[in-house]
Structures are given as structure tokens and as C-alpha cells.
Structure 1
Amino acid sequence: MDPSNPALRHDLAVRMAELARMIAAPRTLEQILNDVTATAVELIPGADVSGILLVKKGGDFESLADTSGLASELDKLQHDFGEGPCAEAALQETVVRSDDLRTESRWPRYAPAAVKLGVLSGLSFKLYTADRTAGALNLFSFSAGVWDTDAETTGAVLAAHGAAAILARRHGEQMQAALSTRDRIGQAKGIIMERYGVDDVRAFEMLRSLSQESQTKLAGVAQRVIETCGDSN
């Protein structure tokens, strides 16, 4: 992408605005990430394939938004070999670039395997997600020497969109879990208040004491109260 070309700059600005609206709209994470990787292939010259890799706590890999099926295959190779640009970007570096995998020395097993699949270069961007999950937006090309500064800039912007979508989903899940926990504790408190004739404060203290004695989270104790005392009413 030539930064001096007003038309290309306009196209990028339009696509970024569209992606921002997509993230704000009530769409699934899968739909948003599919748009991110499709846009990467559309806007970045030389990018033939794109996908998103999540590395979960414990080392499990999850491949998302693969534009062709090849990105998932490359992710699996990296998982099996324990090396590669996508995992390296997700876990360590901000940007990992390889201009020619045929001469790449950083990943002695992954690079030849990728070349056998027709992939000659790659560009990966760290997704800033959360402590328990690392991620990367990955671009692959069937040609060597295709990446430039504009490719890195556009990829970084798209990676930020992808990370925002993942964080938004996680925030929503955490909010839903918090509301569910609050409701369970409230229900358990109501059962204790009715059963033992105590007020709201005393009911909560009883729940907290049970939690400490059993070394069980408060939400778990509340659920047990609901299942035992509640069913016997």
C-alpha cells in the first residue's frame, strides 16, 4: 500500500470504520474475526492466507477465522513442533516477520514444513488479549519478499481490532458470570433468612463462614444451599 496514494488511504480508513462498527454491533466473535482476517487478505498486498491463533493457558492452540484452511494446518505444525512465528508472536514478540521461509533459521522444523505447503513468507502480530490467553493475527504468502512497512502498519491496526473483539467477548462473559454469581448468592441468602429467621447481614455471614470452613468459593456454597435447602422447602 503506497501511503502517498489518497485513494488507498481512503480505502483503509473506510474499512477500519466498518470494522469498528462491526465490533460495536451485536455480532458474534467468530463473525468479527472472520471480517478481520478477510480484510487483511483484501488490504495487504501479498497476503494470500490469514488466520488467528489463540494460545490458551496450558499450551492448547485454537485456530480461528482461517480464510482458507491452510492457516489452521500451519498452526497445527507449530503446535506439534513447538516452534514457529505465530506462537512466537502470541507469546513473546509484538511482530514476527519472515521474508523467506526457505532460508529461515529460527524454526528449523516448522519452516521447511511450511514451504512444502507452498508458504514462503509470514507476518504475525501479537493480539493483546489477557493473561490467560495469548493470541496472534497471522498472514501467510505464497511468495517471498512481499512484506513492507505498510503491511506491518495495516496488520497492526487489524490486530488491534481482533484483540478488541476478543476482550469485549471476555468482558461480556465475565459480566454475565458476575451477575449469575450475584443472583445465586442472593437466592441462597433468601433461603437462609426464611429458614433460620435471620436478617440479610447475618445470612451473608453464615454463607461466608461456610465458605471459609469448606474452603469453597462463596458462589459454590450458595449453589449448594440452593440445591439442598431450596429443594426441601
Structure 2
Amino acid sequence: MASADGSAPAASGLGLLDRRIAGCRACPRLVEWREEVARTKRAAFADWTYWGRPVPGFGPSDARLLIIGLAPAAHGGNRTGRMFTGDRSGDVLYQALYDVGLASQPTSVAADDGLELYGVRITSPVHCAPPANKPTPGERDMCRPWLVQELRLLRPTVRSVVVLGAFGWQAALPAFAEAGWSVPRPRPAFGHGVRVPLDDPDGGGGLDVFGCFHVSQRNTFTGRLTPAMLRDVLRAAAEAAEAADAGGSAEAAGR
């Protein structure tokens, strides 16, 4: 049985890591909930065969920009098997990614719909759909080793991260530290539009971390997060990643 504990052998690549994540049964409450939702379904999706398993990250293995959410939605990612796919939060996120040139299409309805992300990967600190969209701190901590492994595998290329919401921010900062970046003390507070540079003490690529309100219906329906606000953060993160790449290439050329 796969689990996220530290004794598990290191993944040799993101494909293997994704398969191991999809087989995880480490959190009994989440396993019971995701599988119950997959059995009972929502009436609108009665003809779907739900994924009903942990949802791995989505996007290329050489991504320069990483987006970290919260957890899959019960009738979104838990149904389709792909991050932010098939729910209203995903509708907002993928439209914004398309608008700023980071996705091939503005919609994400199924894992086989042909969507491609350009230099972007999407993941979450909790890979199972939780009851009421609220993982416990213990479930967050149990799942953290998966995020740490994903960050280590992305480390050669990733240069910026957008973290959606305070829960993701609190989960991601210790994961960045475990994966090798230097996180300031005291840890920086979450805020929309916050930008925190993280150094790599080993001399590799640093990381710019951006805070963004989560694309939840509560935030988008009330206007706390508008499409323009989301596009601005995504565009700033993409530009930071591009600038970091350009700086690294120029440094290498000057040696």
C-alpha cells in the first residue's frame, strides 16, 4: 500500500510520483469520503464513472511556474481525476491561464479534453477531496511529503509559485524549506499579491512565491477575487519565472 511517509523510496520522476500519489490510502477519513462520493455521485453526473482516488499534479515535468491550491473538489477533481477540472473554481482558473497565454484552451472539463499547460504545473498540498472542503491539519501534514517530493523533482526548472489561499500558503512554506529553499523566519504572512523571494542555499535557482486569494466560489462570487486580479498575479509570476530563466542563461553564458 502506497503512503506518503518518509520511508517510501524516492520517486524517479513525476510520472512515477503521480502514480504513487494516486494509490495513497494514508488518511482513513479522506479515503472513506472520496470513495463514498464516487459511489453516490451528484445527480448531474450520474452517468460518470468517478475517479474517486487521490488526484496527482497536472502539467509538464519541466514547468517554470507551479500553482498550489488546496485540495480536489468532491465533484470536480475527485470525479475527473485532474486538478481543478470539472468545477467552477477550475472554470475561473483555466480561463485566466488561457487569457495570459499559459493554457491551450479556456475550459477544463475532463482529463481527456486536450487541454495543455505551457510551462505551468498545478498541484495541491492535499490530494484527496475532503469533507466540506476542509482537510484537517493532520491530513495536511500527512500529505506534505508528496508535495516535498514534487518540489524536489521540479527544482531544476521551477522559478516561481502561485499559492492559492491561506491554507495552501501554510502548507507550502514548510514544504519549500524541506525541498531545499530558504524560507524567512518568521514565516511571511499570506496576502493577495504578496511576493516572497526564496534563496537556494546550494546555489541553484531561487524561487519567487506569490500569494493569491483562492479561486473558490465564495471568493469569485463575492468579487473578493476578480478575473483581473487573478490574471495580474499569474502574469507577474510568469514574468518572474521568465526573468529568472533569462538571468540564469546570461550568467551561464558569461562564465
Bin for the TM-score computed over the shorter chain: 0.3 to 0.5
Greater percentage in strand: 1
User: What's the TM-score once normalised by structure 2's chain length?
Assistant: 0.30
Greater percentage in helix: 1
User: What's the TM-score once normalised by structure 1's chain length?
Assistant: 0.33
Between Structure 1 and Structure 2, whose CA radius of gyration is higher? 1
